[in-house]
Structure 1
């Protein structure tokens, strides 16, 4: 008798039954019962549900596929260590720098660009998770480029093995190997819910789970479109859902042409601009909330969520709408982090006049007298004095030029040539810059990474930086304190990086490249209001349920995103590698769009902007498909201005 059972149903169906079955199994064997889910958003939904119902569970046993691999790794590793994405990029950068002469096509001035590193990470992810035999698959198309690519991948993977490390891609291989080698399996009853067409490496992991678990219960999302939902047809099963229901009709959005029988579910409309679209979303949310719908019952979905975050934050703040999102801005977008990284760039760049003035001008720079001196550095004064002193170029001698300017003031006739400053101005700048440059010399020497980090911390402590008391209000101040703590935490983690030899000295230029990677880390802690509106990307939508859903930003070129070509490859190479075809990508995008539509239980608002500033935009083919199938369903019109908009209130006043 097989140890696994496969059931089919519409996306989001039977989740309650699967949770109940998992809870029952976990009562018998809590540590070996697992529930694997396709998204972290769904993981949080299930754990929150169980917590609310006061049902005991082991939180690590409800996880995404990546989470499952990480938990197996952490519970069974000996000396191995997992690398975060930013650490993986740093290691890849180091590998390329060490083999720069062997891979010149991927180097720029002895160092790879950040864009090249990102593209290499994408290339390695695709070839591994799709099990592409690169470069052998290219056959006669192999070239010097593919040889160098193969050399980079081989050296990177060898370095991972030498250092006993795994990254976000190779941890799947580790998990498969661990399960296949284990004498006793940690898996009892495993419930796998809602994965749509997993990639080849993920399929291998599911097979390993099935081979080594006591029992496996698999739920596969299904629908009436045979082009999108293929698993049931391949298995020869009959539909297990009501084919006449509204939800099943939505799964046939792209395969049928008749009008959807959806009652008053849909509202479909275009808006003049991106700002107007998000403004009307916020206004409608405010109206719904004033009529008693909790904000936590509302979700807003955008295809380019990270690109829309700034505008969402601006407009939702204007309306006073709390919200939560799983993604956040990169830390590098925070002015405070730009200032902190900029301090290291001063030493790495040789103290150029423009960089020094920019640093001193920052609101985060010290406001009182310099440490151990009586002078106060003023950005405008430093700027003007340094111009008169002729301080220019990438590596200026500040003190030499300031001494020269001071000598000029000894001659009253020559002093008249320097309007707007006095000898006291020169003396203040000379004293202050002398102390600042001496302090920055802590960073400019070649030394161990641990010492570089300690030197930066010592500089910040000596100068009492960053100055966080200039924030406009307590909310901004609290946010900046939180960002500073997060930066300091990443800085300490950098000092303990596993693959960097502890005793090897590094230059300040290399330290700057390392510390700049902190800016690539996401700041995901700023929007976690569980009682607010859920702001989602399309990949977070499968199997979620909300009474009201807004789907915006549906413009051509953004969604669907139909990029087929891998970085560093042309169309012929791409075809030989057997990666996703245009039709496969389209089917995947159609699935996620349908899954987003199915999130809505009572009302579904679909919209698209017609312009981004002065740039005209075309509505997405998916938007037009909804408009064709749902009919003309305009959004409600406001009889009065939305009540909670601060901007509207200010204009009316």
Structure 2
């Protein structure tokens, strides 16, 4: 394996282009077949970046885009493909894992009477914490037997939450084995134990880029991949000495540990960072004092970087300042797609950025991933279920009849007629009361004749969700599929223009999520839910699910999350939202085991999360000649504290 060290800025981006150009030159004449090159990256964003770059370079080198491109995959995609080739157990998805853990936690609380004996109330939140802890343990190679032995020898033995964790982990592994399933950690363990070099025999070259950290199981698999005869690992770093000398709290410590875990002992420098980047690389997160760093600093006249730090009154003021600076830069000739606007929490800033940038007339391309729960499509479906849950309350009915994605949108007179009817009848809700009041009105009175059929139709469609008692998850999902078909949502969304419109992408993700929950229900028919419990589960799942929106134009200012900005150099970088608690993100308190116990097991979640955030910040500070860092002094009516990284 060859380790290639490239600078974080423009020089590093040119080296990556040179590397791909060398691959293209190996096929000087048609057919231009490059599918014997495997390129592994950590994210879908970097996958698309490399795909576009390779086609552009092929057009420039060969004068044609008629090529067979390299096999570019994310690590998770490649691991899953190898797992399918093993022909072993089926990989359980994230929704299936959460359903299983919720059922296990309910059973354990019910059996022991612990935690107040309220499984229906506690299981949804407690099971998520158990699932997260088990995932961290399993990816670190800690399985139930070792966990039980460690706990028995610690001061945590006998505590209810620790006993719950140990028992849930053991039962989880047993159920997976009984049902012929495997989780991501089990998949990686199987790949590491049974890795066959013949899997890579079809590739003459393997390139790995963008990976700076790996857990124990991932590192074992990557070590086997790196044993390929022509494997190149690309690492973003100004020098090998910077990695070797990285201290305990330095961002490059993750890179140093990663290289050691996959057996990489050295590295080849490709492309040289300029003097300014080398100075910043040594100064940022340095163990030296500020005075010592200042002594080695270049003179202000010789320093070619522009670093700015600005605070704003609130988030709107912050985004408006960024928009003004971006607008000024674009007028001065900066290419829009060479400008990065990044936030640690893009879900919070994204809608505000879209609003302000549109007001300023700035072309932009927001990051691909969005929460499914924030889409109008998911909101329309939830509004139907909420109407049943609230027994046809006035506001819930008005949301249903005013949604453009449901069948009632075809008649625009329904919503105002319903609003008048509820007001004049002084009715705030109640299905039976509303239907009875409609029958009492004479035909045509107050325009209520247009409401009778739609409301009766809605009541009939929602009747399965008002049945008392509990039902299996698969039963609830079958009822939901019938409701979606009745709503006419698919037909209305199919009529929207644009193959990549956001609502079409959201609907596809909605279908995928419903199918995933249905599959989980068929796997675990023994777990039953009341309507309220199932609705809460559905909302929670929609909140965690993300859908991709391929932009029609990727040439605008890039508005991304911190990790999505990897893979290329930038002319200007704006990083906002740098407040303590958000960056680095303050993770929930672990309620099961002390951090000291987890460290003995090789689980360092909090420490690695902080180092990963520091690495992303460190990388962005070196990625462009012009950097602007901002934070709001208040969010809402609450004052904030700036990120500790800014010091």
Q: Compute the displacement of 1:20 (Å).
A: 4.8
Aligned residue-pair number:
594
Is 1:198 the equivalent of 2:214? Answer: yes
Distance 2:326 2:106 in 1: 51
Equivalent residues of 1:377, 1:432 under 8 A apart:
no
Q: Which residue in 1 is equivalent to 2:133?
A: 123
| RMSD over aligned Cα atoms | 4.6
TM-score, structure 2 length as denominator? 0.76
Q: Which residue in 1 is equivalent to 2:285?
A: 254
Which segment drifts farther, 507-516 or 218-227? 507-516
Which segment drifts farther, 296-305 or 438-447? 438-447
Is 1:438 the equivalent of 2:460? Answer: yes
Which of 581, 595, 599 is equivalent to 1:557? 581
Q: Compute the displacement of 1:335 (Å).
A: 3.9
Q: Which residue in 2 is equivalent to 1:308?
A: 349
Q: Secondary structure at the match of 1:268?
A: strand
Q: Secondary structure at the match of 1:206?
A: helix
Given the superposition, is the C-alpha separation of residues 478 and 95 from structure 1 closer, same or farther in structure 2, using an over 3 Å criterion? same
Q: Which residue in 2 is equivalent to 1:88?
A: 97
Q: Secondary structure at the match of 1:110?
A: helix
Equivalent residues of 2:312, 2:633 under 8 A apart:
yes
Which segments of 5 or more consecutive residues in structure 2 lack a partner in the other structure?
Answer: 60-65
Given the superposition, is the C-alpha separation of residues 244 and 106 from structure 1 closer, same or farther in structure 2, using an over 3 Å criterion? farther
Q: Which structure's CA Rg is the greater one?
A: 1
The Cα offsets for residues 173-230 of structure 1, whole Å up to 9 and x where unpaired, read as 343244159798666543333532432222212222245x334333444443622335
Which of 224, 231, 234 is equivalent to 1:208? 224
Q: Compute the displacement of 1:299 (Å).
A: 0.9
Q: Which residue in 2 is equivalent to 1:635?
A: none
Equivalent residues of 1:33, 1:189 under 8 A apart:
yes
Equivalent residues of 1:86, 1:521 under 8 A apart:
no
Equivalent residues of 1:369, 1:377 under 8 A apart:
no
Equivalent residues of 1:107, 1:113 under 8 A apart:
no
Given the superposition, is the C-alpha separation of residues 276 and 514 from structure 1 closer, same or farther in structure 2, using an over 3 Å criterion? closer
Which segments of 5 or more consecutive residues in structure 1 lack a partner in the other structure?
Answer: 411-420, 625-653
Q: Which residue in 1 is equivalent to 2:246?
A: 226
The Cα offsets for residues 616-640 of structure 1, whole Å up to 9 and x where unpaired, read as 222223223xxxxxxxxxxxxxxxx
Q: Compute the displacement of 1:384 (Å).
A: 4.3
Q: Which residue in 2 is equivalent to 1:267?
A: 308
Given the superposition, is the C-alpha separation of residues 524 and 169 from structure 1 closer, same or farther in structure 2, using an over 3 Å criterion? farther
Distance 1:383 1:526 in 2: 42
Given the superposition, is the C-alpha separation of residues 507 and 554 from structure 1 closer, same or farther in structure 2, using an over 3 Å criterion? closer
Which of 333, 358, 362 is equivalent to 1:317? 358
Given the superposition, is the C-alpha separation of residues 178 and 305 from structure 1 closer, same or farther in structure 2, using an over 3 Å criterion? farther
Distance 2:99 2:580 in 1: 35
Distance 2:544 2:189 in 1: 26
Q: Secondary structure at the match of 1:299?
A: strand
Q: Secondary structure at the match of 1:214?
A: coil
Within a 5 Å distance, the mapping from 1:367-516 to structure 2 comes to 367=408, 378-381=417-420, 383-384=422-423, 397-398=432-433, 402=437, 406=440, 433-444=455-466, 455-456=479-480, 458-459=482-483, 462=486, 464=488, 479-480=502-503, 482-492=505-515, 494-495=517-518, 499-500=522-523, 508=531, 512=535, 515-516=538-539
Q: Secondary structure at the match of 1:535?
A: strand
Distance 1:184 1:458 in 2: 45
Q: Secondary structure at the match of 2:110?
A: coil
Which of 328, 336, 339 is equivalent to 1:295? 336
Q: Which residue in 2 is equivalent to 1:637?
A: none
Structure with greater proportional helix content? 2
Q: Which residue in 2 is equivalent to 1:619?
A: 642
Within a 5 Å distance, the mapping from 1:582-597 to structure 2 comes to 586-597=610-621
Distance 1:539 1:401 in 2: 56
The Cα offsets for residues 293-345 of structure 1, whole Å up to 9 and x where unpaired, read as 22111111212222211211221222233333445431212344223123234
TM-score, structure 1 length as denominator? 0.75
